[in-house]
């Protein structure tokens, strides 16, 4: 086997475990009238993007999802092919779209890179991580971006893809990546393959929100796109028009792939920075004995101030915790700037440590937390979704455990906190059968807002203190209760 042998699918050596080249060929043959779209990466974005493409209104596409044959990913491939769909969601459209794709027969998954050779369009939805170096209490000390896995994924495509393929990068990447990293990889591979540089390369990012509007957040929302040249721009636009409801949510074209890449990380940096900003004002409100929530509500009356954030426990998830760093890394590494994006980096630094304010609030309130029993309501970083990636509950949990508190966890969306290997109760009434010194609302799940169970518990346990880290509970419920009640950003209590 030499490198030349990899470049045409006939000679491509298929590992024993793939074994589905025939299936792939049959799949393509069965969809001669359709464009073949390969979605690379079957995570939170790629898996659902695959569904949306397979469910395009005019049935234009047959979709092959591809991921690595690793323990972390291979099961998704198997589940896509045999069911159930590997992403569980509160959005009923996810299952509906999966069933529709099954009945259309236009969606399959594989680990076989042979798929790249069949694709008219490759959508890149793999992860690109930032390596954070944090000291004690999650104090961010350094960070870097390792592009090697991303580059390898691009090389897989480049070595096998059709001459006129459209490669659409949706991954959040350091600004400059398509032009300065992906394009050189494609140029090198095409030159090696003695192909003219007829490929199309573009970038567009989704604004996906796992949760009740999961599908709509991809299919029914504004998109920004770009291409490496005019032909690429046209191809990207033509593709997106068939996938997204662009009549209601018009596309926006930017002048360069670096521009859309920057737009994505700027969006998230804006959000991260506005969270970091309000953080200090929450403390101020507590000191000045006023209610920051009513203040922010009053200010948001002004259209120019509508995006002001509210205080909270902290920031989690895959985007806001890393994108500002990725941007700053690109500025310095890809564009050789002497200056980092100081404020954006600083926002991440502040947000990483946000949960410490709740810790210090508890320290002040209880003096010694040793042997105190604490019930944490919520493990997910986001409301009404079970997503524990980089959840801020982690730091709170660690600090309280470190102080000797006994922690009990509840989250209806998180039966197991996988990152910690911990079992989480999903039944609020059951978990409330025990005694707690403190009940802390740590996620903004609607359940906590709506249930009478927390108020009932406090009424019958007057010694139990309540800490609401999101200002989510209706305090009128607790009026007249003797319990100690603490709400972040509320000094007026």
Within 13 Å of residue 421, how many CA atoms lie on the same side as its CB?
Answer: 0
Per-position x/- string for 394-433, each x denoting binding to its own copies as judged by CB under 8 A, each - no binding: ----------------------------------------
**Among the listed residues 32, 135, 194, 306, the single contact to its own copies using CB under 8 A:** 306
Check residue 4 and report its DSSP letter: G
Per-position x/- string for 162-201, each x denoting binding to its own copies as judged by CB under 8 A, each - no binding: -------------xx-------------------------
Residue with tokens 């059968």: 433
Rule CB under 8 A: say whether 255 interacts with its own copies.
Answer: yes
Q: How many residues bind its own copies (CB under 8 A)?
A: 63
Q: Which residue's CB is nearer to its own copies, number 175 or number 316?
A: 175
Rule CB under 8 A: say whether 271 interacts with its own copies.
Answer: yes
Q: Segment near its own copies (CB under 8 A), from 185-193, 227-235, 271-279, 425-433? A: 271-279
Which candidate, 372, 269, 250, places its Cα nearest to that of 322?
269
Rule CB under 8 A: say whether 10 interacts with its own copies.
Answer: no
Strands 416-417 and 422-423: antiparallel
| The pair of three-digit structure tokens given for residue 28, joined into one six-digit string | 């393509």
Rule CB under 8 A: say whether 252 interacts with its own copies.
Answer: yes
**Among the listed residues 158, 285, 414, 473, the single contact to its own copies using CB under 8 A:** 285
Rounded Cα distance between 176 and 336, Å, is 12
**What residues between 190 and 249 interact with its own copies by CB under 8 A?**
207, 222, 224
Rounded Cα distance between 305 and 86, Å, is 40
- Provide the CA 454 distance to its chain's centre, in angstroms: 30
Rule CB under 8 A: say whether 277 interacts with its own copies.
Answer: yes
Tell me how far, at minimum, the Cβ of 493 lies from its own copies, in Å.
Answer: 11
Rounded Cα distance between 451 and 441, Å, is 13
**Among the listed residues 87, 167, 276, 458, the single contact to its own copies using CB under 8 A:** 276
The contacts found for 444-449 with CB under 8 angstroms, 24 or more apart, are 444/312, 444/378, 444/383, 444/470, 444/472, 445/377, 445/378, 445/380, 445/383, 445/384, 445/411, 445/412, 445/413, 446/383, 446/384, 447/412, 448/377, 448/378, 448/472, 448/473, 449/473, 449/474
**Among the listed residues 246, 346, 425, 484, the single contact to its own copies using CB under 8 A:** 346
Q: Give me the residues that bind its own copies (CB under 8 A), please.
A: 175-176, 207, 222, 224, 252, 254-256, 258-260, 262-263, 266-267, 269-271, 273-274, 276-277, 280-281, 283-285, 287-292, 294-299, 301-308, 327, 330-331, 334-337, 339, 341-344, 346, 350, 492
């Amino acid at each position: 086997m030499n490198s030349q042998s990899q470049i045409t699918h006939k000679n491509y050596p298929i590992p024993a475990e793939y074994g589905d080249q025939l299936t792939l060929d049959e799949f393509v043959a069965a969809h001669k009238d359709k464009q073949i779209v390969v979605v690379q990466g079957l995570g939170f974005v790629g898996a659902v993007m695959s569904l949306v493409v397979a469910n395009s209104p005019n049935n234009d596409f047959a979709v092959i999802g591809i991921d690595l044959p690793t323990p972390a990913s291979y099961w998704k491939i198997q589940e896509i092919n045999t069911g159930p769909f590997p992403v569980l969601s509160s959005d009923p459209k996810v299952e509906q779209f999966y069933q529709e794709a099954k009945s259309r027969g236009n969606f399959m998954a594989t680990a076989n890179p042979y798929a790249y050779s069949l694709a008219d369009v490759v959508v890149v939805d793999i992860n690109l991580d930032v390596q954070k170096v944090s000291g004690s209490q999650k104090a961010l000390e350094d960070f870097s971006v390792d592009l090697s896995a991303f580059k390898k994924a691009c090389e897989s495509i480049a070595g096998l893809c059709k001459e006129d393929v459209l490669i659409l990068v949706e991954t959040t990447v350091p600004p400059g990546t398509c032009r300065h990293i992906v394009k050189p990889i494609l140029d090198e591979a095409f030159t090696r393959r003695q192909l003219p540089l007829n490929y199309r390369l573009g970038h567009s990012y989704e604004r996906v929100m796992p949760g009740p509007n999961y599908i709509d957040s991809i299919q029914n929302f504004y998109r920004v796109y770009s291409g490496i040249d005019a032909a690429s721009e046209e191809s990207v636009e033509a593709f997106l028009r068939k996938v997204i409801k662009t009549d209601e949510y018009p596309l926006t074209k930017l002048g360069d792939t670096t521009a859309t890449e920057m737009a994505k990380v700027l969006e998230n940096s804006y959000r991260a920075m506005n969270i970091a900003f309000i953080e200090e004002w929450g403390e101020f409100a507590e000191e000045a004995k006023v209610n920051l929530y009513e203040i922010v509500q009053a200010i948001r009356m002004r259209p120019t101030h509508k995006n002001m954030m509210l205080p909270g426990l902290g920031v989690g998830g895959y985007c806001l915790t890393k994108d500002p760093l990725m941007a700053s890394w690109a500025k310095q590494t890809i564009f050789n700037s002497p200056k980092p994006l100081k404020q954006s980096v600083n926002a991440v630094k502040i947000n990483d440590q946000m949960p410490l304010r709740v810790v210090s609030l508890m320290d002040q309130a209880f003096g010694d937390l040793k042997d105190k029993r604490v019930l944490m309501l919520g493990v997910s970083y986001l409301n009404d979704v079970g997503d524990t990636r980089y959840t801020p509950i982690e730091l709170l949990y660690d600090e309280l455990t470190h102080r000797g508190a006994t922690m009990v966890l509840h989250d209806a969306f998180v039966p197991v906190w996988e990152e910690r290997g911990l079992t989480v109760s999903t039944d609020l009434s059951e978990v409330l059968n025990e005694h707690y010194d403190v009940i802390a609302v740590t996620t903004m799940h609607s359940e906590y807002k709506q249930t009478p169970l927390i108020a009932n518990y406090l009424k019958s346990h007057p010694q139990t203190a309540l800490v609401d880290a999101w200002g989510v509970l209706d305090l009128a419920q607790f009026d007249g209760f003797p319990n100690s009640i603490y709400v972040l950003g509320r000094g007026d209590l």
